[in-house]
Amino acid sequence: MLARIAVIAATTLTGLLLGDTIGWMFGSGSRFGGTSPREIWPGWHVLGLVLGLGVGAYMAFANAGRHMQIEEVPDGEDVTGAEAR
């Protein structure tokens, strides 16, 4: 569970940084840069936050049960795949 929280936190921070970078690059009509962090449109923060949370949640929970699947095998059944002689 701690690993899932770490994945979500890391992708959320990455999303926030990505949103800030995009806002800095395209903010205030300048070609590349020239805006202070206070001039960045707040929507970029929100977009980065939502994308980061979404990607993190997908990474942490989408395939979580996939590697935890356990098949019940009846007693005495050969589970090695070897043929009976």
List the one residue out of 42, 43, 40, 48 whose CA is nearest residue 23: 40
Residue 21 lies in a domain: yes
pLDDT tens, residue by residue, 35-84 = 555 566 677 777 777 888 888 787 777 765 555 555 666 676 666 666 55
Question: Using the 8-state DSSP alphabet, how is residue 64 labeled?
Answer: T
Q: Which domain holds residue 50?
A: 2-62
77's tokens? 């059944």
Q: Which pLDDT value is given to residue 68?
A: 53
Give me the pLDDT at residue 53, please: 81
- 77 in a structural domain: no
Contact 19, 48 (CB under 8 A): yes
Residue 81 domain-assigned? no
What total of structural domains would you count in the chain?
1
In a domain, 76, yes or no: no
Whether this prediction's pTM lies above 0.75 is answered by no
